Amino acid sequence: MLSRMTGFIKMSLAGAIVFALGLGSAGAAETIKIGAVAPKTGPLAVGASITHWPNIKLWVSQVNGRGGLRMKDGSRRKIQLITYDDQTNPTEHIKATIRLATLDKVDFIVAPYGTGFNVAAAPHFAKYGYPQITSTSITDKIPQLTKRFPGLFFTLGNTTAFVGSVVEILAKLRDQGKIGNRVAIVNVAADFGIELKKASIPIFKKAGFNIVYNKSYPLGTQDLSPVMRGVKASNPDAFVAWSYPPDTIGLTVQAKIQGLDVKAYYSAVATAFPVYRNKFGKSIEGVLGAGGLNLDSPALQTYMADHKRVTGKEADFWASPVVYATLQVLEQAIEAVGSTDRKAVTAYIKSGTFTTVMGTWKFKNQVIPSFWTVGQWQNGKFYGVSSTGMPGEKPVAIKRGW
């Protein structure tokens, strides 16, 4: 009798948990399962905690607050979110993605955080028929990847455009007599940094720059003082780092400590983060970095306010609204199709027109052609100064000390 009663209590508790999560037999038909795998620990966790996870939280909160996603029968289905930490480990990421598809049986999966992870996950998204709308991936391999994976979409841009914008800005400053011809280049030894560095060398040389320093460092490097000592010893006029968040912060710390005196200082991912501004204050005035935004956009201003209110964090000034925009695309495609038919949703993403915080989006060969490439800290805000056709570019300013 006691064992039966204990079993009944256990079953009741389990039922209460299932009901609370909206997973009961009645609730199952009223939810859409969406999975997400990205770093919560490891070297890329800081970047994901700023750019990736808060936007998923914001979007799910807003969709569920509206009653859920509208289906073709007029009903609404709330989102049930299932997340995993990939520990900044590609193997763990793939394992978690497969788990979402096969065990959790989610309806859709949010694209990964980071270029390498998106490329690694693409075959598995394709195998299980999930659309993969990337938001933090930059590569020149887009034509090959989209041809191979019909459900893979790119929104943040390509390597050559990012490199070309940086070189164009520095060349213009040089031709105006504001900087010299000597450039120091460093990069994180991850797919993102390796591809950008490889693409940048010939473009810098073609533009007539003298590359006086060229150094790679492993992802997760704690002590970047030797790298910056080498940079300073090369006596550059401009500094370019194809960097990820931990090293973007670390390189700037060392640039300040060692007094790197350049009038053009560029670092990549995390330069646009509010935490970067909060850590370094007014000393980063004039620092160039990847991304940027048109901060005069009413849609972005509303998004920024909602992001802070719901997540308690400031959005970054580059990829954060792009992540959110990809979720808006997914939402609008699901509602247009009116079901969780992934094949139909993917087809709609290819052909549809979407209203997003980044403006009106329409994919061309699975790519959004207009995007920000370079931003700059000016008067405490990170403005876009170069793009492939985005409105609101600001003039570039010279950096004057730390």
105-143 tens-digit pLDDT: 999 999 999 999 999 999 999 999 999 999 999 999 999
Q: Is 32 exposed, middle or buried (0-12, 13-18, 19+ CB in 10 A)?
A: buried
Q: Are 140 and 160 in contact (CB under 8 A)?
A: yes
DSSP string, 318-343: SHHHHHHHHHHHHHHHHHHHTS--HH
Domain residue ranges of the chain, discontinuous segments joined by +: 31-158+297-372, 159-293+374-387
Q: Is 293 exposed, middle or buried (0-12, 13-18, 19+ CB in 10 A)?
A: buried
335-369 tens-digit pLDDT: 999 999 999 999 999 999 999 999 999 999 999 99
The pLDDT value given to residue 291: 96
Give strand pairing partners of 83: 36
Calculate mean pLDDT across residues 215-224: 95
Q: Are 161 and 200 in contact (CB under 8 A)?
A: no
Q: Of the candidates 212, 231, 173, 233, which has an alpha carbon nearest to the alpha carbon of residue 399?
A: 173
Band (pLDDT 50/70/90 cuts) for residue 7 is very low
142-166 tens-digit pLDDT: 999 999 999 999 999 999 999 999 9
- Whether pLDDT at 14 is above 50: no
254-309 tens-digit pLDDT: 999 999 999 999 999 999 999 999 999 999 999 999 999 999 999 999 999 999 99
Fold of 31-158+297-372: Rossmann fold (3.40.50)
In the sheet that 69-70 helps form, which strands lie side by side, from edge to edge? 69-70, 76-85, 31-38, 108-110
Which segments of 8-70 are extended strands (E)? 31-38, 69-70
Helix (H) or strand (E) holding 121: helix 115-127
Which alpha helices (DSSP H) does 187-290 contain, by range? Answer: 191-206, 225-233, 245-258, 274-280
Distances (CA, A) of 300 to 157, 294, 387: 19, 8, 17
Q: Are 213 and 230 in contact (CB under 8 A)?
A: yes
Give strand pairing partners of 215: 186
What is the bridge-based pairing of β-strands 288-290 and 264-267?
A: parallel
- Whether pLDDT at 23 is above 50: no
Band (pLDDT 50/70/90 cuts) for residue 30 is confident
Calculate mean pLDDT across residues 164-186: 98
- Whether pLDDT at 25 is above 60: no
Exposure string of 38-77, with b = 16+ CB inside 10 Å and e = fewer, is: bbbebbbbbbbbbbbbbbbbbbbbebbeeebbbbeeeeeb
Q: Which residues contact 268 (CB under 8 A, 6 or more apart)?
A: 192, 193, 196, 241, 242, 243, 244, 248, 289, 290
Q: In the CATH scheme, what is the homologous superfamily, with its name and number, of domain 159-293+374-387?
A: Response regulator (3.40.50.2300)
Calculate mean pLDDT across residues 189-204: 95
Q: Is 290 exposed, middle or buried (0-12, 13-18, 19+ CB in 10 A)?
A: buried
Band (pLDDT 50/70/90 cuts) for residue 26 is very low
- Rounded to an integer, what distance in angstroms lies between the CA atom of residue 219 and that of residue 92? 17
What is the bridge-based pairing of β-strands 238-242 and 182-188?
A: parallel
Q: What share of the chain has pLDDT > 90, as a percent? A: 92
| CA atoms within a 13 Å half-sphere pointing along the CA-CB vector of 122 | 22
Give strand pairing partners of 361: 354
88-103 tens-digit pLDDT: 999 999 999 999 999 9
Q: Are 73 and 29 in contact (CB under 8 A)?
A: no
Find how far residue 34's CA is from the centre of its chain: 18
Q: Of the candidates 180, 133, 125, which has an alpha carbon nearest to the alpha carbon of residue 155?
A: 133
Q: Are 60 and 50 in contact (CB under 8 A)?
A: no
Q: What share of the chain has pLDDT > 70, as a percent? A: 93
* Mean pLDDT for the chain overall: 93
Find how far residue 354's CA is from the centre of its chain: 19
Q: Of the candidates 308, 288, 273, 300, which has an alpha carbon nearest to the alpha carbon of residue 378?
A: 288
